[in-house]
Amino acid sequence: MKKVRIGVVINTSVKPSRDFLLALERVIVDRDAPNRPLVLRFFLGSAATTVKNLSTFVASGMDVVVFCGMSRKILFQYLQSEPNHLPVVFSTYSAVSEEEFKLLRPCAVVMRDNAAIGRKAADFFIERGLKNFAFVGRNGNREDIAGLAREEAFHDRIKREQDLGFQYSSRLIGKFAANEDYWEVDQDEMAQWIKSLPLPCGIFVNGGHLAFEVIDRCRRLGIDVPGSIEVLSINHNDGFSEISVPSISSITPSPDAIASKALDLALELVADPSAGRGSRVEIVDAYTFEERASSSIGRGYGLVASKAKEFIRLNVSRGITVADVAAALGISRRTLEFRVKEATGSDVRSLIADARMEKICELLTATEMPITRVLEAAGSPNASSVFARFKKRFGMPMRDYRRKFGGGILANRQIYRMKMQYSEDDLNKNKS
């Protein structure tokens, strides 16, 4: 049997795109087929040269091409420039308009279920016993299409599950500037809206960037997050869920489920290139909740585990131990371990190890530090064991990970510096 050659086209500056590639490779390994598909990678460069280079890449012997996390304009240009193109699978995390669907007719498309996101967000707050709910979306953005479906499902689930005593508010705010190079938010308008909400209130925000704005405005108004307001967002590719203080709870589409469906379609199209072309759209309803510090009332990780995760996130670079976490929270180590295990299913040592690994990945991709300095900055006490764990987890050494994914994450150094400054300011405030 011929080995299938899958050409994967991703944009390394988009986190879900990088996650998709890693997930696709994991799925292929996990299936353990005797003739595993061979994945060949093409990383998008400048728009001016991409289409020409892409055509050369595809002509080098691919059987099928999978696109993820890239400019649709480039995909449409490729489809139009290659009338007899190979079978194409397009995996997208964003909404698709009716006009775009017409242009995507030659492709099999994998999408996420936006209505399911809205229902899951409602359940998230309902389980916490909240009676007041709000939705925040954006104007003038592609996510408006998906956001409308999410908000409708969010509101419908609340109406169906709650008695007539609940209160609900929805707000679309923000606009793109005339040159479309940046996104503006009317801070006074947002402040007035937030002050009008009945408390406590659960706010479902359509995107990490906007959730960051909401939390910052609450902070300036002296409104506690969490406490008076709980915040849940959609985890897109901007990284604001992680850099916010407090960090933002989010719903994240499962990259493994999406990659598995894309692989199924790719193999199906190789076997029969006409299968589903022009009409095949697969909707994936598989998500995970990453509960962070913006929601700590009621169920979920609970207050102790949420505070532990936040302390670890902000202090992992100091080489902290389980005892340090317990001391910071003012509880015994035994109580800390019990409550974290009960709430998360994991132990505190594992939370520290995971946070340290995330910090290493962040520094590898967002800075040019030597790897030894990266380990020091991530508070890694034993370099040899960290090297081994990193390679086992990501399937490659740190140097290859940097070469593969460096140069695009979170607008790179600017956002990284903002995170470090914001975290240090917050720590200094807590100390005072």
- Tell me what pLDDT residue 427 has: 40
What are the start and end residues of each CATH 1.10.10.60 domain in the chain?
Answer: 302-431
- Tell me what pLDDT residue 82 has: 80
- Tell me what pLDDT residue 55 has: 79
Query: In this structure, which topology does domain 115-253 adopt according to CATH?
Result: Rossmann fold (3.40.50)
d(CA 267, CA 33): 13
- Tell me what pLDDT residue 163 has: 66
**To the nearest whole percent, how much of the chain has pLDDT over 70?**
79
| Residues across the chain | 432
Q: Are 251 and 289 in contact (CB under 8 A)?
A: yes
Give residue for tokens 């659960």.
Answer: 202
Q: Kindly list the strands in the beta sheet with 249-253, ordered across the sheet, starting from the edge strand earlier in the chain.
A: 167-173, 132-138, 201-205, 229-234, 249-253, 287-290
Give residue for tokens 């150094």.
Answer: 413
Which among 133, 145, 121, 208 has a CA at the least distance from the CA of 171?
Answer: 133
- Tell me what pLDDT residue 14 has: 73
Q: What is the pLDDT of residues 146-192, one digit of tens each?
A: 788 899 999 999 988 766 678 899 887 655 444 444 445 667 888 99
User: Looking at the DSSP assignment, which residues form a beta bridge with residue 136?
Assistant: 171, 205
- Tell me what pLDDT residue 230 has: 93
Q: What is the pLDDT of residues 66-79, one digit of tens each?
A: 988 766 778 888 88
- Tell me what pLDDT residue 404 has: 78
Q: Are 136 and 171 in contact (CB under 8 A)?
A: yes
Q: Establish whether the linkage from the previous residue to 273 is cis, with ω within 30° of 0.
A: no
- Tell me what pLDDT residue 413 has: 36
Question: How buried is 141 (Cβ within 10 angstroms: 0-12 exposed, 13-18 middle, 19+ buried)?
Answer: buried
Dihedral sign (CA 112, 115, 118, 120)? negative
User: Looking at the DSSP assignment, which residues form a beta bridge with residue 173?
Assistant: 138
Q: Are 394 and 22 in contact (CB under 8 A)?
A: yes
d(CA 293, CA 295): 5
User: How distant, in Å, are the alpha carbons of 22, 71, 105, 229, 430 from that of 259?
Assistant: 9, 19, 20, 35, 42
Q: What is the pLDDT of residues 52-69, one digit of tens each?
A: 787 788 788 888 889 887
Query: In this structure, which topology does domain 302-431 adopt according to CATH?
Result: Arc Repressor Mutant, subunit A (1.10.10)
In the 8-state DSSP scheme, what is residue 12?
A: T
Name the stretches of the chain with pLDDT < 70: 1-2, 32-35, 43-51, 70-71, 139-144, 162-164, 173-186, 236-239, 274-279, 296-303, 381-382, 406-432
Helical spans, DSSP H, in 4-63: 15-31, 47-58
- Tell me what pLDDT residue 151 has: 92
Q: Hey, how many other C-beta atoms are within 10 angstroms of the C-beta on 64?
A: 24
Outline where DSSP puts E strands in 44-138: 64-68, 88-91, 107-112, 132-138
In the 8-state DSSP scheme, what is residue 259?
A: H
What are the start and end residues of each CATH 3.40.50.2300 domain in the chain?
Answer: 5-113+254-286, 115-253
Q: Hey, how many other C-beta atoms are within 10 angstroms of the C-beta on 337?
A: 18
- Tell me what pLDDT residue 217 has: 92
- Tell me what pLDDT residue 47 has: 54
- What is the rounded (10 degree) CA torsion for 8, 83, 93, 274? -90
Which among 210, 130, 124, 132 has a CA at the least distance from the CA of 172?
Answer: 210
- Tell me what pLDDT residue 101 has: 82
Q: Hey, how many other C-beta atoms are within 10 angstroms of the C-beta on 98?
A: 7
Say if domain 5-113+254-286 classifies as CATH 3.40.50.2300.
Answer: yes
Contacts of 375 (CB under 8 A, 6+ apart): 360, 383, 386
Contacts of 148 (CB under 8 A, 6+ apart): 137
Q: What is the pTM of this model?
A: 0.66
d(CA 355, CA 415): 18
Amino acid at 266: A
